[in-house]
Amino acid sequence: MRVLLTGGAGFIGSHIALLLLQKGYDVVILDSFVNSSSKVTKAISNYLLTKSFNFNLNTITGDIRDKNLLEKIFNDSIIDNKPIQTVIHLAGLKSVSESLTNPLHYWDVNVCGAKNLIATMNEYKCYSIVFSSSATIYGLTDSVPIDENHQLSPINPYGRTKVAIENMFCDLYKSNMNSWKICSLRYFNPVGAHPSGMIGEDPIGIPSNLFPYISQVAVGRRDSLKVFGDDWDTDDGSGVRDYIHIMDLSEGHIKAIDFLNSKESCFEFINLGSGNGYSVFQIINQFELSTGMKIPFSIQKRRDGDVAKCFADIKKAKKLLGWVPKRSLEQICNDSWNWQRRNPHGYK
Ligand code: NAD
Ligand code: WQD
Q: What is the pLDDT of residues 106-147, one digit of tens each?
A: 999 999 999 999 999 999 999 999 999 999 999 998 799 999
pLDDT of residue 142: 78
pLDDT of residue 117: 98
Dist. CA 139 → ligand 1 center (Å): 20
For residue 61, what pLDDT band results from cuts at 50, 70 and 90? very high
How far, in Å, CA of 172 to CA of 71, rounded?
19
Q: Is 13 in the pocket of ligand 1 (CB under 6 A)?
A: yes
Q: What is the mean pLDDT of residues 66-75?
A: 98
Q: Is 94 in the pocket of ligand 1 (CB under 6 A)?
A: yes
pTM of the model: 0.98
Q: What is the mean pLDDT of residues 314-326?
A: 98
Dist. CA 217 → ligand 2 center (Å): 16
- Asked whether the predicted pLDDT for residue 102 surpasses 90, the reply is yes
Which of 210, 306, 333 has most ligand 2 atoms within 8 Å of its beta carbon, as the pocket-test mutant? 210
Dist. CA 293 → ligand 2 center (Å): 22
Domain 2-342: assigned CATH number: 3.40.50.720
pLDDT of residue 1: 95
262, 264, 268, 270 alpha-carbon torsion, rounded to 10°: 10
Q: Which residues contact 127 (CB under 8 A, 6 or more apart)?
A: 121, 176, 179, 180, 181, 265
For residue 314, what pLDDT band results from cuts at 50, 70 and 90? very high
Dist. CA 162 → ligand 1 center (Å): 12
How large a percentage of the chain has pLDDT more than 90?
A: 98
Closest ligand 2 atom, CA of 211?
A: 27
pLDDT of residue 259: 98
- Contact yes or no for 184/166 (Cβ under 8 A): yes
pLDDT of residue 177: 86
What pLDDT digit, counting tens, does each position of 247-264 carry? 999 999 999 999 999 999
The protein residue whose alpha carbon is closest to atom 28 in ligand 2 is 209
Q: Is 94 in the pocket of ligand 2 (CB under 6 A)?
A: yes
- Asked whether the predicted pLDDT for residue 246 surpasses 90, the reply is yes
Closest ligand 2 atom, CA of 228?
A: 30
The protein residue whose alpha carbon is closest to atom 3 in ligand 1 is 10
How far, in Å, CA of 24 to CA of 198, rounded?
20
Q: Is 134 in the pocket of ligand 2 (CB under 6 A)?
A: yes
Dist. CA 133 → ligand 1 center (Å): 10
How far, in Å, CA of 173 to CA of 168, rounded?
9
How far, in Å, CA of 95 to CA of 226, rounded?
19
How far, in Å, CA of 258 to CA of 248, rounded?
15
The closest ligand to the CA of 186 turns out to be: 1
pLDDT of residue 43: 97
How far, in Å, CA of 247 to CA of 194, rounded?
7
Which of 138, 241, 299 has most ligand 2 atoms within 8 Å of its beta carbon, as the pocket-test mutant? 241
The protein residue whose alpha carbon is closest to atom 10 in ligand 1 is 35
Cβ neighbourhood burial of 324 (10 Å; 0-12, 13-18, 19+)? middle
Which of 280, 301, 307, 311 has most ligand 2 atoms within 8 Å of its beta carbon, as the pocket-test mutant? 280
Q: What is the mean pLDDT of residues 279-283?
A: 98
Q: Is 227 in the pocket of ligand 2 (CB under 6 A)?
A: yes
The SS3 assignment for 95 reads: coil
Give the number of other CB atoms < 10 A from CB of residue 21. Answer: 21
